[in-house]
Chains A and B, each alone.
Chain A
Amino acid sequence: MAVGEVGTRPRERVRGRGSRTPYLLIAPAVLAMLAFLVYPMASVVYYSLQHYNISKPWENGFAGLDNFTRMLTADPLFWQSLGFTARWVLVEVSLQLVLGLALALIVNETFVGRAAARAMVFSPWAVSGVLTTGIWVLLYNPTTGLSRYLADLGLMDYGAAPLANPDTVFAAAVLAELWRGVPFFAILLLADLQSIPRDLYEAASVDGASRVRRFYHVTLPHLKDAIILSTLLRAVWEFNNVDLLYTLTGGGPAHQTTTLPLYVASTAVQSQEFGYGSALTTAGFLILTFFSVAYLRLSKFGART
């Protein structure tokens, strides 16, 4: 009896302490998530149900679903900005994927100067967003930019401003964002390309598969999960893109490059309509959540091929 008691007490103590330890260890992370994720999200949902404009405090109060009704039925700018956001995400993610994959395939080959080529391909990713837009603003500026020098050489007329022209502003903004976004795909896909066993390619070659067939039947299936994950991540980032478009075009001219987050920023920050701005943010959150879940399900992410 005494021996048994002596034998079980330490184990109980260990078990007792052990059962609390995991909770203590994850407590900081849980607290951080509650403070920096759950609370802000709950706060946005709360304010989306309020009339809350700090410059008109006499109108503040519970709004029910008024903000959402206004958004869906009486605000053409919501639909316009949502439509532009969808177009922006689709064009950006598709082009970044195709060009990033092409670059990854090139720098995955063995050639003289490969290290320098890889460094050049990846370098735009290391440049901060605001600096990137600063560079492109100067390039597009008719006083200081490329068009000025081309006009000096007599190759075009003075005054061309791609960011001010409704016919060119979308392409100009897409190009600037491509410069920053392509390296993301190139880095991610190159890492995955290097994990494809060489003997798969050798076996395919022995079976007479051409380079194109090897790409479609060996490379692409192997990259599937990386492509799904990277396109999903990039789609979310592009949806929420504020820095580049805000600095480059400010959403203009005439709302032509206003994404939903830019519209939220002007509604909440400039017009100080925090209630309506919160409703727009909630809508964006729900759209992104639905898109992410549907995309992962439809693409069968993680399933064996």
Chain B
Amino acid sequence: MASRRWLTAGALVVTSCLALAGCGGDSGSDGTTTITFWDDNGGPARTPVWEHIIDEFERDNPDIKVKYVGIPIAQAQQKYDTAIAGDGLPDVGGVSTAMLANLVARQALEPMDERIANSSLDGKLSEQVVESVRATVPDEKLYFVPMSTNMGVFWYRADWFAEADISPPASWDEFYAAVEKLTDTGNNRYGYTIRGGAGSISQLLEVLYGQSGIDEMFDSSGRSTVNDPRNVAALEKIAGLYRKYTPEADVTNDYVKMVAQFDGGNIGIMQHNLGSYTDHVKTLGEDKVGAMFVPPAENGSRTVTSHPVSGLGVFASGEQKDAAFRFAEFAAGKEMNGHWAAETGVLPANTEAADLEGLAHITEATSVLNDPETRLVQLPYYLPEFNAITKTDAEPLFQKVLLGEMSAKEFLDQMADKLTDAQAGYEQRNGG
């Protein structure tokens, strides 16, 4: 009797353990394979897009079932970190170059070069995007199937510009003049909004390098260019807008608060990227929202910073790598990649992606990126310290600059020193 009780208890423990360990994929007795997919930007905007892609994939591949798990973007990195430590990674997941260095350092991802070369994606992916992914890791392998990239945009209120009888700025001088003209604090209208909270630094770097025209993050000696006097002058100018032509709340603005201000009707120009297009159009209407890109610098060149490339990675610990890659290949294919780009407003990695003719801002973004006069500043996502330097360290210091508690030069000097040290360490480790 007692031994039966022990047996039952033992069986329960084993069953529970198996249930807990059920993160990865498995093969069912009916011949179907189930793979688990983690969406690293789950939410009301993107989850329905993935659900559509999964439905289409399962219809084309009846032998594979995809289990969708949506993770809010702010928690994605942490979720992957925990999963690596606990050996609970999924079969396939959303990955971007912003987190790639960390995942590759921990050998969590499977290289995709050979699989892509032998698949329908061979030769179909944008070379610029593929190179951007390769440049993020020391061995220059392609550790995920790229699906999209992004580009910085200044979203503006087309109706406000029409009211004020001004055109979208074609230079930085016109930009500052427009910000001033659109501001009417008595009526709760501000010409511009600065992102001063979480995620501020990547946007800041875009307006600094965009104004200075400097097109390298590091000079030939490996020294960061972020504190170049031209960048310092640019920061002083943009920080000078705070509280005069921008709301006081900007100093702690994260993405949600910034968009709430713009879509709430208080802001004339808001800097973000292509990805927020659907939010603005849904709230303000298509006719009230316009997109303009970084104006050219004084030297005449248009300088934009690189944005993370996103895609699907197949995890090394997965047992269903073939099925996981088939899903990634399908999602990055011509039709689904076009659908993805159209629904989320980003630039597709598949050069044959269709159905984007109606989206003027994507067509324009593509032409700006392909313009030989456009200079691309590659942000060093390959540095393991990049997130810590630009988020934990720099974000509060940028707030100090906005509040007048620190000079622009002191702030950029500190960031430049840290980036230079990190770059030196990277080159030493990788024989650069």
Contacts and interface: CB of A to CB of B under 8 A. Distances in A.
A169 B196 CA distance: 16
A255 to B, nearest CB: 5
Nearest to B393: A271
Nearest to B85: A54
A272 B102 contact: yes
Nearest to B184: A158
Contacts of B85: 54
A157 B186 CA distance: 7
B262 to A, nearest CB: 10
Contact of A250 (B101, B186, B252): B252
Contact of B186 (A55, A143, A158, A273): A158
Nearest to B383: A55
B396 A271 contact: no
Contact of A252 (B102, B261, B399, B429): B399
Given A54-B106, A255-B396, A272-B388, A249 B260 contact: no
Interface string B390-407: 011000110110110100
Nearest to B253: A164
A57 B108 CA distance: 13
Given A55-B101, A56-B105, A159 B405 contact: no
Nearest to B398: A254
A159 B245 CA distance: 11
A53 B102 CA distance: 10
A189 interface: no
Given A253-B251, A267-B392, A55 B260 contact: no
Contacts of A164: 248-252
Contacts of B402: 253
A252 B396 contact: yes
Given A253-B196, A254-B396, A271-B392, A143 B261 contact: yes
B81 interface: yes
Contacts of B105: 55-57
A271 B387 contact: yes
A142 B249 contact: yes
B264 A254 contact: no
B81 A272 contact: yes
A158 B266 CA distance: 10
Interface centre among A144, A250, A254, A270 (most CB of B within 10 A): A254
A163 interface: yes
B260 A270 contact: no
B392 A141 contact: no
A166 interface: yes
A249 B247 CA distance: 16
B380 interface: no
A187 interface: no
B220 interface: no
A123 interface: no
A56 B429 CA distance: 11
- How big is the A interface, by class? 35 or more
A143 B189 CA distance: 11
Interface residues of B, number: 42
B185 to A, nearest CB: 6
Contacts of B106: 54, 57
A143 B264 CA distance: 7
Q: Interface SS of chain B: helix, strand, loop or mixed?
A: helix
Interface in B65-92: 78, 81, 84-85
Interface in B370-396: 384-385, 387-388, 391-392, 396
B248 A159 contact: yes
B185 A158 contact: yes
Given A253-B403, A272-B388, A55 B102 contact: yes
A111 B28 CA distance: 68
Contacts of A249: 252
B391 A270 contact: yes
B81 A159 contact: no
Given A57-B105, A254-B397, A254-B403, A266 B392 contact: yes
A254 B197 CA distance: 10
Contacts of A269: 78
B118 interface: no
Contact of B252 (A144, A158, A252, A272): A252
A158 B196 contact: no
A290 interface: no
A160 B391 CA distance: 26
A163 B247 CA distance: 12
Contacts of B84: 54
A32 interface: no
Interface string A246-290: 000111111100000000001101111100000000000000000
Interface in A199-257: 249-255
A164 B84 CA distance: 37
A274 to B, nearest CB: 9
A165 interface: yes
B249 A159 contact: yes
Nearest to A267: B392
Interface string A52-85: 0111111000000000000000000000000000
Contacts of A267: 392
7 contacts: A143-B260, A157-B185, A158-B186, A164-B251, A250-B252, A252-B399, A270-B387
Interface of B: 78, 81, 84-85, 101-102, 105-106, 185-188, 190, 196-198, 247-252, 254, 257, 260-261, 264, 266, 384-385, 387-388, 391-392, 396-397, 399-400, 402-403, 405, 429
Given A55-B385, A163-B249, A164-B248, 18 more contacts: A55-B105, A56-B105, A57-B105, A158-B186, A159-B188, A161-B247, A161-B249, A164-B250, A249-B252, A252-B251, A253-B196, A253-B251, A253-B399, A270-B392, A271-B387, A271-B391, A271-B392, A272-B388
Interface of A: 53-58, 141-144, 148, 151, 157-161, 163-166, 249-255, 266-267, 269-273
